A and B are shown apart, each in its own frame.
Chain A
Amino acid sequence: MSQRGRRASDWTLDPEAFGRFLALLDDDVVEAAHLYERLRHKLIRLFEWRGCAVPEELADETLNRVIRKIDEGAEVPTERVAGYSVGVARFVFQEYLRQRRAETPAAPERERPPFVPGKHTTTDLRLGMLEDCLDRLSHKERDLIVRYYDHAKGGQIVQRRALAAELGVAANTLRIRVHRIRAKLLHWMIDAGLPASEETGA
């Protein structure tokens, strides 16, 4: 059921509106869901980069508003959905800042303390988990990330350039490839319950 014509405050996300938004992203439902997740992930990162304490909440709020605008008749071609979302995200963030100034809320509690090099050490447990996650990678991916971090044969820059040359890719392409592998590792490690760092006691 379309909710066109209703006031913004009355609007709530329903499965039909969400389905129409997915259909706008792509005809294929699976591909559309993938694009939606990707857009949400990017919005989360954007809010993180802006220093927001609740990036997931703001990303969901942004997407809700984008879906509502489109559901209410805003003409947004598929290729402009991402760009349109940036504009909406900007307003959502400004509202968040205003609200934060008004409420001066306490910083949200974190499940784990932020990592501080020198203060925290990498535990055996985390190293073991890293090994498990490395084993889940393909042989090629594992080899690439292990060699990317292998500085035993020389300086980091020299070693990575040599690796890029060996693979026949630009340094930037190598960085992106490693970034994707690292993102996969991080995802698996968080899913597995990344153990907290240990303070060195220093």
Chain B
Amino acid sequence: MSDDRKDMRERLLAHFEGTLSEDDRETLERSALQDDGSFEALEAIETELVEDYIRGELNARDEGIVAAAIQRSPRLSESAELVAALDAREQLATLSGRREREASGRGSGARRLWGLLLLAALALLHLSQRAELKRLESEARELRQQLDASQAERLRLERELARSEAELRTRRQASESGRG
């Protein structure tokens, strides 16, 4: 806090308390009445004192002075109520913000879990599909080998058949020419 403001705060407290000398009081009041900036600065300090009072941040002496001033002045009491309402609103907002963040945290945790489960399922599906594919490929390969082997056997048997038939024809012709 700057020295000027600290000094102004002390003078305002003394003014509230009635311990400010008449000369100092007149200087303070003249400055406030003639200069809008000084007046607003004093009112801002007054609100600051009320804020500190509401939050229990004043020492015992200053707390007594401000409490008495609020007791006397309906305007200051209304100002205190506004500050208390702004504080209460902020506390509610903080609490609900925290709850939202917690809820949001819980929500994102659940979403993460579901995501992981989905990924795992997809991975399993993928793995089982790959295994199945491999099994089918292997089976197809075996069947092709069996088919190739069957085709080779059929070819061999056809050749054997053709040779046997040729031999049979030759023997028949020889037999017929022997009888003739």
Contact = CB atoms under 8 A, between A and B. Distances in A.
Contacts of B90: 146, 149-152
Interface stretch (A3-11, A12-20, A80-88): A80-88
B72 A51 contact: yes
A176 B41 contact: yes
Given A49-B12, A149-B90, A122 B84 contact: yes
Given A50-B15, A89-B29, A186-B79, A42 B86 contact: no
B78 A190 contact: yes
Taking residues whose C-beta sits less than 8 angstroms from the other chain, chain B's interface range is 35 or more
Contacts of B55: 117
Contact of A115 (B47, B77, B89, B94): B77
B148 interface: no
A175 B48 contact: yes
A145 B73 CA distance: 24
Contact of B44 (A112, A115, A122, A179): A179
Interface string B73-112: 1111111111111111110111001000000000000000
A127 interface: yes
For the residues of A in contact with B, the DSSP-based class is: helix
A152 to B, nearest CB: 4
B33 A46 contact: yes
Contacts of B46: 49
A154 B149 CA distance: 83
Contacts of A53: 72
A130 to B, nearest CB: 5
Interface in A126-185: 126-127, 130-131, 145-146, 149-152, 172, 175-176, 178-180, 182-183, 185
A113 to B, nearest CB: 8
Contacts of A42: 32-33, 39
Contact of A150 (B41, B43, B93): B93
Interface in B159-178: none
A90 B32 CA distance: 14
A46 to B, nearest CB: 5
Interface string A75-116: 000000011011001100000000000000000001110111
Interface residues of A, number: 53
Contacts of B48: 175
Contact of B40 (A50, A110, A131, A176): A176
A175 B88 CA distance: 20
Output the residue of A46, A176, A183 with the most chain B CB within 10 A.
Answer: A46
B34 A83 contact: yes
Nearest to A150: B90
A197 interface: yes
Contacts of A85: 33
Interface string A16-40: 0000000000000000000000110
Nearest to B84: A122
Nearest to A89: B29
A186 B86 contact: no
B71 A114 contact: yes
Interface of A: 38-39, 42-46, 48-51, 53, 55, 82-83, 85-86, 89-90, 110-112, 114-117, 120-122, 126-127, 130-131, 145-146, 149-152, 172, 175-176, 178-180, 182-183, 185-186, 189-190, 194, 197
The 5 closest A-B CB pairs, nearest first, are: A122-B88, A179-B44, A82-B33, A152-B94, A114-B77
